[in-house]
Amino acid sequence: MSTLAERVQARTELTRPDLEHLKALVAEWQLLADLSFADLVLWVRTHEGRWLAVAHMRPTTGPTTYATDVVGTELASSDRLDSAWRSGRIVRDGDPEWHDTIPVRKETVPVRRADRPVAVLSRDTNLTTARVPSQLELAYLTSAGELVQMVSEGTFPFPSTDPDPEHAPRVGDGLLRLDRTGHVVYASPNASSASRRLGVPGDLVGAHLAQALARVPAGPGRLSEPRGSAAVAAALRYREPRDSELEAGGAVVALRVLPLFPGGAPTGALVLVRDVTEVRRRDRQILGKDATIREIHHRVKNNLQTVAALLRMQARRMADPAARSALEESVRRVASIAVVHETLSTALDEKVGFDDIADKVLAMCAEVAATGAPVEVVRSGSFGVLEAQLATSLAMVLTELVQNAVEHAYPAGREGRIEVVVRRQEDLLEVEVLDDGAGLPEGFDLASSPRLGLQIVRTLVGADLGGSLVLEQRRPRGTRAVLGVPVLPSP
Ligand SMILES: Nc1ncnc2c1ncn2[C@@H]1O[C@H](COP(=O)(O)OP(=O)(O)OP(=O)(O)O)[C@@H](O)[C@H]1O
Ligand SMILES: [Mg+2]
């Protein structure tokens, strides 16, 4: 069985950030399938202009449309998929199509990243059991409609999420729908039971959720951030998903808050609710020192993401382009530290596989270039396992070097390619960042460069990593940065 990444890379021209976007979509789309009562099929356009199905999700809330697997299906052409792809708009077909004896309604949604579609999502509903929808079904379908609109606008999946598939709540566990003021307009029966177990008084529908949760007395809890009421408020405010756990009356309930803003206008949020009392009780028995450290990393990551979100909001308000770009850079710096903590929060000990971190950081740098022509960032070679304390500094140095290549080697939206070549020797890690762009300015001197970026790099390389850095002209053109870092031998 090939993975989504392999299927996409072998057959399409999609870039690494495009692929990350599709992976994030597929990580979250069980929710969308469940709310839609529909099968979801992800189609990509191949080199030859054909359509290839690369992923498929069945709903757990309703009948499937496809008894057999769809992945791998190829179409030489499809008017329906073409039309969503070309127009960038959702295409709703009037008449159902027939699959064997099953009537199927298909809706075609362009999956947008940055300013263009990168794939097409088909929402295929089995109409055999269609009837007048209940209140629950209406609440689900409305939310699903808003989510697919966000898919077509590039705002769902959320960029900063790391859903933990094992513990993340699902639709079947319990669902609340909030309006834009944070009041509950719909509560599924499971969500109502969970809230009663927490001791939230009265009916949830009509209540202001953050206020109702704020009245839940704080339990001893684990170190999860933020508190339920803060999570709801923050998700609505920063338009980012938030996870939280509440503990009261002997019950532990996990919340995942997903803000909805189709068309850029906030319409409220979905709150997935799951009773995790049993899971947590077992967790607690095995919660040792390592787990506590991981929890702290998780919490630091959340806080850093909040800082990044605040800076991003402030950047958006800046009229002065220089001030705005300075703030946007700070967002990037904070976000790359958050990536490291995210990885550390899942690490088993004080060592981390750095390739994962590097790829996320590189994708983030390429993302910044997405406003202009595509700049591709490719890594070759492996970083291997590094001591956790090196990871933060190395991630920051890498961000700055690659960011410089994106910004200065390929200014004004030039297309370009940046190579990150990694060589891991016994006790030395060597990383080259190569571009074939504009080259260093006349009279450039690393030691006396007055700008902040390289000063940060020099400090980190010298003081934190105990390593070396050379920045030189490349022939015939471009720039070569070589970083050497002493490391402990890999196990
Ligand atoms: N890959 C590169 N290609 C061309 N010029 C580069 C490259 N890397 C660095 N430079 C030059 O070195 C200068 C200093 O880089 P530095 O990262 O310190 O500052 P900056 O990128 O201008 O600003 P910031 O502090 O926001 O990073 C840049 O302004 C640029 O002129
Ligand atoms: Mg720079």
341-392 residue pLDDT tens:
888 887 766 788 899 989 988 988 887 655 566 788 999 999 998 888 788 8
| Whether the CB of 405 sits within 6 Å of ligand 1 | yes
> Quick one: which ligand is closest to 325's CA?
1
| Whether the CB of 457 sits within 6 Å of ligand 1 | no
Label residue 58 by pLDDT band (50, 70, 90).
very high
Q: Greater confidence, 412 or 13?
A: 13
Residue 84 reports pLDDT greater than 90: yes
Ligand 1, atom 14, lies closest to the CA of 451
- pLDDT at position 38: 94
Q: Which of 42, 46, 43 is nearest to 13 (CA)?
A: 46
Per-residue model confidence as pLDDT tens digits over 98-116 = 888 888 999 999 999 988 9
Q: Please state, as a whole number, how many other Cβ atoms lie within 10 Å of the Cβ of residue 355.
A: 16
Tell me the mean pLDDT in the region 463-469: 89
| Whether the CB of 435 sits within 6 Å of ligand 1 | yes
Residue with structure tokens 């992923």?
A: 55
Q: Greater confidence, 363 or 93?
A: 363
Per-residue model confidence as pLDDT tens digits over 230-283 = 788 888 888 888 888 888 877 888 888 999 999 999 999 999 998 888 887 777
CB 390, CB 485: distance < 8 Å: yes
Label residue 223 by pLDDT band (50, 70, 90).
very low
Between CA 199 and CA 374 the distance in angstroms is: 53
Q: Please state, as a whole number, how many other Cβ atoms lie within 10 Å of the Cβ of residue 3.
A: 11
Which residue among 327, 399, 404, 420 is best mutated to probe the pocket of ligand 1, counting the most ligand atoms within 8 A of its Cβ? 404
Ligand 1, atom 17, lies closest to the CA of 453
| Whether the CB of 436 sits within 6 Å of ligand 1 | no
Q: Return the ligand 1 atom nearest residue 441 CA.
A: 31
Least confident of 166-180, 181-195, 321-335, 456-470: 166-180
> Quick one: which ligand is closest to 416's CA?
1
- pLDDT at position 150: 96
Label residue 225 by pLDDT band (50, 70, 90).
very low
Tell me the mean pLDDT in the region 132-142: 86
Q: How far is the CA of 436 from the centre of ligand 1 (A)?
A: 15
Between CA 134 and CA 123 the distance in angstroms is: 20
Between CA 217 and CA 176 the distance in angstroms is: 21
Q: Return the ligand 1 atom nearest residue 405 CA.
A: 1
Q: Return the ligand 1 atom nearest residue 326 CA.
A: 26
> Quick one: which ligand is closest to 452's CA?
1
Residue 439 reports pLDDT greater than 50: yes
Q: Strand 268-275 and strand 175-178: pairing?
A: antiparallel
- pLDDT at position 379: 96
For residue 120 the two structure tokens come to 């097409």
- pLDDT at position 159: 77
Q: Return the ligand 1 atom nearest residue 325 CA.
A: 26
Q: Return the ligand 1 atom nearest residue 437 CA.
A: 3
Q: How far is the CA of 454 from the centre of ligand 2 (A)?
A: 6
Residue 161 reports pLDDT greater than 70: no
Q: Please count the residues of the chain.
A: 491
Label residue 7 by pLDDT band (50, 70, 90).
confident
Bin 452: left if φ > 0, else alpha if -120 < ψ < 50, else beta.
alpha
Per-residue model confidence as pLDDT tens digits over 295-340 = 778 888 888 888 988 898 899 899 999 999 889 888 888 888 888 8
Label residue 285 by pLDDT band (50, 70, 90).
low
Between CA 80 and CA 97 the distance in angstroms is: 12
Between CA 57 and CA 30 the distance in angstroms is: 7
Task: Specify the 3-state DSSP secondary structure of 119.
Answer: strand
| Whether the CB of 438 sits within 6 Å of ligand 1 | yes
Q: How far is the CA of 403 from the centre of ligand 2 (A)?
A: 6
* % of the chain at pLDDT higher than 70: 91
Q: Mean pLDDT score of the chain, rounded to an integer?
A: 86
> How would DSSP label each residue in 161-176?
----TTTS--GGG-EE
Tell me the mean pLDDT in the region 145-165: 82
* % of the chain at pLDDT higher than 90: 39
| Whether the CB of 404 sits within 6 Å of ligand 1 | yes
Least confident of 20-34, 135-149, 239-253, 425-439: 239-253
